[in-house]
Amino acid sequence: MKMEDMVIISVDDHIVEPPDTFEKHLSGDAKASAPQFHTTESGANYWTYQGMTMASVGLNAVVGRVPEEYGMEPQSLAQMRKGCFDPKARLEDMDINGIAASLNFGSIGGFDGSRCFHMAPDKEQALVHLRAYNDWHIQDWCATDPGRFIACGILPTWDMDATVAELKRLREMGCTAVSLTENPTKIGLPSIHNAYWEPMWKALVENDITTCLHIGSGNPQPHASDETPIEAWITTMPMSVAVGAADWLSLEALLRYPDLKIFLSESGIGWIPYFMERADFSHSRHTAWTNSDYAGMKPSDVFKRHFMTCFIDDAFGLKNLDDVGEDMVAYECDYPHSDALWPEVPEFLWKSFQGLNLSDAQIDKVTHANAARWLNFDLFKHHTREELTVGALRAQAKAENVDVTPISTGGSAPLEEGEAKRRVTSGDIMKMMTRQAKVG
């Protein structure tokens, strides 16, 4: 296989919702009370909903920007590549990046909706608007090309009857994945070990829907102090997934529902072998007094049966693919976040594959086959493999004249104006997040 022959699915990308997100699928009072898009006098964009303000925070849409302007910008659509909020432009950016298909998480509501809908005081309205959001995501964004966008819904988990009903409705619309918080106690709901969730586990399996647990959707990604350089915090972010992974690995529902599927989104893979080893060791040493039970299996066996992991750039993990598990690894681009390797994903991937003596079948598993299987997504239903290779997509991008010229808007830096150049700290970023949260 050559680099141009690869077919790549990205299981973790992101949408910056456009102003008309709720326009088409609502009317009357429901439309008037939906999240509203605003622009400040300085040009910053933000949303309001039921007394809450949701600004653009984090390195959430800097793809294509010059690295010097990453900081916590951008705050407005004008500062972003159009592919962040326009699905047709996104397809062009996927073409130039050699990405055949993409699963996208939202922004204004958080990865799982908890930032907006779960925090809303009027839950009756929130349910209407959450369903409208799913309609927009599936019928507008993903329908732009259902062969290249993989739908991922969100759930009204504050109401279990509504959650089960929404799972069925999503499946009827062709959606095979949902995003959940990895720790529902952070939004005032029972822990995943509570019987409250039993109807949802059953509905997920009955409808063959995969659960995606995105980093930052529940458990904190801790930094040592406000003086900790931000790079130290960024370095540990993927590994912080281990806290939620260990919690979910101990979920008794995994024993009752052997077909329950969980995606650890933006997880990385290099730490997975030790995680499984440690889980097995802990179980063997402590089960006599902890009363833990894996139905005669080792924790690593349960992990391999129920969990899929993914990586952006993880040469170490790929070198240890036998220990990670070649059937439980997928790829993620993370467009348009700051870690995204756009528009050079194929080059980075191919470099990591060199010298590993992987077969074409193994490369296919990592680049797309595992993801398609886990997400119940027929990659070649709407397009042939020949149309979705890196080479074919980039040829299409050339015909589309996709511009990859770096964007520079003179965006603000994390340091105070006039301040001497120094290391940016975690505290600097927290201050910027606080300021942006007060926008509007």
At residue 54, the pLDDT reads 87
CB atoms within 10 A of CB 235: 10
Rg (CA), the chain: 21
Beta pairing class for 36-39 and 45-49: antiparallel
Q: How many CB atoms lie within 10 A of CB 206?
A: 14
Assign residue 188 a region: left if phi > 0, alpha if psi is -120 to 50, beta otherwise?
Answer: left
- Reported as type and span, the H/E element at residue 135 is helix 123-136
The confidence score (pLDDT) of residue 265 equals: 95
The CATH number of the domain covering residues in 7-437: 3.20.20.140
* Helical ranges in 183-239 per DSSP H: 198-206, 230-236
- CA distances, 74 to each of 71, 115, 390, 408 (Å): 8, 19, 29, 11
Q: Are 141 and 27 in contact (CB under 8 A)?
A: no
Non-local (6+) Cβ contacts of 189 within 8 A are: 157, 158, 196
pTM, two decimals, is: 0.95
Say if CB 372 and CB 379 are below 8 A apart.
yes
Q: Give residue 89's pLDDT.
A: 98
CB burial readout 272-310, b (16+ within 10 A) else e: bbebbeebbeebeeeeeeeeeebeeeebbebbbebbbbb
Q: 414 with 429: CB under 8 angstroms?
A: yes
Sheet holding 329-331, edge to edge: 153-154, 177-180, 210-214, 262-265, 307-311, 329-331
The overall average pLDDT reported for the chain is 93
* Phi, psi dihedral angles at 75 (to 5 degrees): -115, -5
Q: Give 384-417 pLDDT, tens digit per residue.
A: 999 999 999 999 999 999 999 998 877 656 677 7
SS3 call for 33: coil
Name residues whose C-beta falls within 8 Å of residue 102's C-beta, 6 or more positions apart in sequence: 9, 10, 13, 90, 94, 148, 149, 150, 333, 335
pLDDT of 438 reads 57
Give the pLDDT of residue 233.
85
Q: Which residues of the chain carry a pLDDT beneath 50?
A: 440
Paired tokens of 350:
């191919």
Beta bridge partners of 104: 13
Tell me what pLDDT residue 420 has. 79
**CB atoms inside a 10 Å sphere around CB 92:** 20
The half-sphere exposure of 244 on its side-chain side, counting CA atoms within 13 A, is: 31
Residues 76, 65: Cα–Cα separation, whole Å: 13
What is the 3-state secondary structure of 285-330?
HHHHHHCCCCCCCCHHHHHHHHEEEEECCCHHHHHCHHHHCCCCEE
d(CA 158, CA 408): 42
Closest CA to 97 of 300, 270, 342, 281: 342
